[in-house]
Chain A
Amino acid sequence: MDSTIELLEKVLTDLKKVGGVEASALASRDGLLIKAIMPSGQHAETFAAMSATMLGAAETATTELGKRIPERVIVESDHGKLIATGAGPKALLVLLTTPEAGLGLILLEMDKAAQNVKELL
């Protein structure tokens, strides 16, 4: 039987296979890295901490305005996109994509993955 961490890793690996996705990571809501599939040499811990803060700040900002919790945060730059979404109460899921990646399929797969993570944790 696979351990939880192996199952989580599989969720991340599957996401990474979606066209245009460069890296995928799972972090706790309070910013600890759980697992990342990303090119070596990048500091996954910092990436996880910052993404958690970003999503948390976005959630605080919109709920303060009475707009409920946002589905996701998307950051676009010339060099790529970063998408962060909640995956249950304990974790969040973050993807990095190429600049030209289409978001349709990616968001669909990401929501599915987030649901799986929610069940696993």
Chain B
Amino acid sequence: MMVETGIPKLDEFLDGGIPKGKSLIYFNHLGVEGDVFGMQTLYHNLAKGGTCVYVTSSSNPETMKDHLREFGWNIKQFDDKLLIIDGFSSLIGGLSTENYVVSNPESIDSMTEMIDRAMKDVPKGSIIMVGSLSSIMDLCGEENTLNAVKMWNRMAMIREHVLIYNFTAWPYEESTLKSMKNDIFNCVISIGGIEERVIFGQYFGVLKADWSKVEMRSMLFRVLRPGGIRIYIPKILVTGPFNAGKSSFIHSLSTRAVSVDRLGTTIALDHGHIDYKGFSADIFGTPGQERFDPIIKMISGEAMGIFLVVDSTLPKDFIRAKQMLEITKGYGLPHIIVANKQDLPGALSADEIRNHFNIPKDVPIVPTVATSKKGIYEAFDILVEKITGGD
């Protein structure tokens, strides 16, 4: 039995989640919204009926709960499953009504004592989450904290709990950061900012997970309020010949979409946005007619994947479709063929299309009827898997 992180794609990368007895750290670089990761994991497990112990050290326990509410996660209903180790109230001389109160937050031993007690109280396979390891480090010193962390990890291993840390990489000693990334934890998830050409975003990636053979792979993400973490795909292109049903495809797929239509055809751009199964993607649709080729070239840059939409009843247009894949430089990108208008008489099947036009085996062909939403989510699932699957 694994404990899931509840972050889209991450559990897949980790071969299902975190095994009991293991430790994981969300290692946040400066300037990213990394604290959501821990929150989402916490909520996900409470909602599944798990028991969690949360260690606060930088803010009032209530502040943490308010923060969760921002994302639409109400944890009041799980109050009996969520135990708090309050390492904050004593700092400001306040009284605490929580289950475990750290009497002297500036002493790491005082913290260890409470963590030990909580670990003994909760059932096997519970999550112990350290809200902010960086603030504990600021209070107790780097070396003391790391030594204690090693001990907590051993305690969790013996008692078969999962220990999760949230950490922000302030300018600590180089050696501290290095051993945190390499040695101390079973699993390290790195969360950082990315500047690649014109994409300014945030990514997460698995640096290490000693129970699975992970490849270094990272995913762009964005944070929705409410909603939490979504894998972010800034541009998926929809292209194909005139009247193949590109705009209908985008409109049926999207949570919201706009088009520049004149005389019944797209002349500039369709733009749609989709939120689906933990993914957040922006979809760009090109016009189909040759006279708009300059615009097609212009908007196809930076695409991460392509839907090539064809009218299954019009094989003569397939040559143009192949040409459009060239214009958009789609051959080098993950792409799939959307065989649209399957409801019309004379529509070719996916196999017929593949044989007829020598489509390579690794390019999926998905039959659809865009106007009645048939097949479109399958198409989306397949393309997104190709984009994020990394093969």
Residues of A within 8 A of B (CB): 3-5, 8, 28-32, 34-35, 43, 45-46, 49-50, 52-54, 56-57, 60, 90-91, 121
In the complex, what residues of B have CB within 8 A of residue A90's CB?
Answer: 197-198
Shortest Cβ distance from residue B217 to the other chain A in the assembled complex, whole angstroms: 22
In the complex, what residues of B have CB within 8 A of residue A56's CB?
Answer: 294-295, 298-299
- Do B299 and A3 touch (CB < 8 A)? no
Q: What 6 pairs across the A-B complex have the smallest Cβ distances?
A: A30-B301, A28-B198, A56-B298, A5-B200, A49-B271, A53-B269
Q: Which residue in chain B gives the minimum CB-CB distance to A28?
A: B198
In the complex, what residues of B have CB within 8 A of residue A3's CB?
Answer: 31, 193, 195
Known: A3-B193, A30-B298, A31-B299. A46 touches B271 (CB 8 A): yes
In the complex, what residues of A have CB within 8 A of residue B282's CB?
Answer: 32, 45, 49
Residues of B within 8 A of A (CB): 31, 193, 195, 197-200, 234-235, 256, 258, 260, 268-269, 271, 273, 282, 284, 294-295, 298-302
Known: A4-B200, A5-B200, A34-B200. A29 touches B271 (CB 8 A): no
Inter-chain CA distance A8–B199, complex, in Å, is 13
Q: Which residue in chain B gives the minimum CB-CB distance to A5?
A: B200
Shortest Cβ distance from residue B343 to the other chain A in the assembled complex, whole angstroms: 30
Inter-chain CA distance A31–B296, complex, in Å, is 12
- Do B195 and A57 touch (CB < 8 A)? no
In this complex, the member of B200, B268, B269 whose beta carbon has the largest number of chain A beta carbons within 10 angstroms is B200
Q: Which residue in chain A gives the minimum CB-CB distance to B234?
A: A32
Known: A29-B298, A31-B299, A52-B299. A43 touches B273 (CB 8 A): yes
- Do A45 and B273 touch (CB < 8 A)? yes
Shortest Cβ distance from residue B198 to the other chain A in the assembled complex, whole angstroms: 4
- Do B193 and A30 touch (CB < 8 A)? no
Report 12 cross-chain contacts, Cβ distance below 8 Å, ordered by A residue.
A3-B31, A8-B200, A28-B198, A31-B235, A45-B273, A46-B258, A46-B273, A49-B299, A50-B258, A52-B299, A53-B295, A60-B295
- Do B200 and A53 touch (CB < 8 A)? no
- Do A50 and B302 touch (CB < 8 A)? no
**B199 interface neighbour in A32, A53, A54, A57, Cβ under 8 Å:** A32
**B271 interface neighbour in A4, A5, A34, A45, Cβ under 8 Å:** A45
Known: A3-B193, A3-B195, A4-B195. A28 touches B301 (CB 8 A): yes
